[in-house]
Amino acid sequence: GPNFRDPHHPDEPARSVLRLTDRADRLASVLSPDAESFNASVKRIKGAMLQVRNRRKPPRLDDKALASWNGLMIGALAVVGRLLDESRFIAAATRAADFVLHQLVLPDGRLSRSRRGDSTSHPGFLEDYAFVAAGLIELATALQADEDRTRYIGEAMKLLATADRLFADDQGLMYDTEADPGFFVRARSLHDGALPCGTSVLLNTLVDLASLGDATALARLPRLYEGIGANLGELPLGLANGVRCVLRTLSSAWARGTPLETQLRATAPPKDLADTAFTPVEVYASEERLSITTDTPASMKLVLQIAEGYHVLAADPWVDDPRGAIRGLVPLRVHVLGGSGVRVYADYPAGEPYEHAPAGIGRPRVYRGRVEFEVAVEVDGPNQGRPLLGVTFQACSDRACLHPRTAELDIAIDRA
């Protein structure tokens, strides 16, 4: 019967897509006298299907070569080739690097964003220069011959110098695009998502060069770190590759005892209770995706990691003294955000009595350190919106309480 419905064309009827219902070796033992006969049968069937499919107009092939993606792949191949001692990967990285340096460089020395056939596109962005330079540094690290290492390091330094000329402002901070009167807004991205941003990759590449003794790279680092310092302090997870760069620098011998080390240590999140961006609680989930049906719920574990010196109000904080509840304090709750049709239950731990509570308000229960508990998710009517799971908590020290916070969990909820 029909087993596929095109989500992009919901008005079209469901169709049947031919597929093997089990592993080939298991099917062979049931459907054929031996594996060889089964494989021959499958090959014949696939050949007939291919003849029918070849009558359709094929989709257009995206066969352009992007400078930035080539840079990522060059670096990945070089690292894997070096760690696994696989010369074929290093050779592939070398071929790709030479392709970029010869086929994706415009006559004026700038990188092209992409190439297709014999044609190059518009000039590249900051990420193109940063990703390619990072890949070349990794390739140089993987190569044995000093002449080859020197050549690719030199090419990376040339790209970074060009990027500094094209994308840096008067303060030395980097934009994603060149200055152009035709742009309504000149973007500057400081967020590492599915791909790291150009600035964080550029920073890591400068750290690579600084560790090799390049004075120019070392001189560039303080201004760039200054430019991302506020983002690192307030939203370190949003600039994870930048945080990685800070940690690499702080652990490097060449940065120890320098003004650069002092500058980086100043980017740590402030511990002032008045700072609403600071939270001493980290929330982790055991699953990235949950599948639920009308009859079958799903479960996972949640972990709260609470920093030393802080506690979180328990889910049922006044169980020992119901009259002691204080208006305004928010207990721990796991709940649904942004949609409906899903219900969540949590097996909250009891917590421990808080021994430093002011006189006259009872002893609320709190959580400290690592707190782990089970959460169940089930269907609760028609699905509307995009339901997300949220964890609301209020963290306190012995002196004062922070504002309540809600952490959205990046967990996909699939409903069959």
What does the pLDDT look like over 115-164, one tens digit per residue? 998 889 999 999 999 999 999 999 999 999 999 999 999 999 999 999 99
Q: What's the DSSP call for residue 255?
A: G
Q: Are strands 412-415 and 370-393 parallel, antiparallel or unpaired?
A: unpaired
301 has which bridge partners? 374
| Residues in the chain where the model's pLDDT stays below 50 | 269-275
Residues forming a β-bridge with 281: 306
Are 198 and 130 contacting, i.e. CB atoms less than 8 angstroms apart? yes
Residues 6+ apart with CB under 8 A from 214: 157
Q: What is the pLDDT of residue 359?
A: 56
Q: What does the pLDDT read at residue 285?
A: 93
The whole-angstrom separation of Cα 21 and Cα 180 is: 56
Q: Are 91 and 42 in contact (CB under 8 A)?
A: no
Report how far residue 344's alpha carbon sits from residue 292's, in angstroms, rounded to the nearest whole number: 12
Which residues lie below 8 Å from residue 133, measured CB to CB, with a gap of 6+? 71, 156, 157, 159, 160, 163, 202, 205
Q: What is the pTM of this model?
A: 0.58
Looking at every residue in the chain, the average pLDDT score rounds to 87
Q: Are 364 and 314 in contact (CB under 8 A)?
A: yes
Q: What is the CA radius of gyration of the chain?
A: 28
Check: CB of residue 190 under 8 Å from CB of residue 197: yes
Of 65, 64, 198, give the one whose Cα is nearest residue 133.
Answer: 198
Residue pair 348/373 in contact (Cβ under 8 Å)? The answer is yes
The pLDDT of residue 273: 40
Q: What does the alpha-carbon distance between residue 143 and residue 151 come to, in Å, rounded to a whole number?
A: 11
What single letter denotes the amino acid at residue 236?
Answer: P
Helix (H) or strand (E) holding 258: none
Measure Cα distances from 178 to 123, 124, 183, 260 in Å: 9, 9, 9, 28
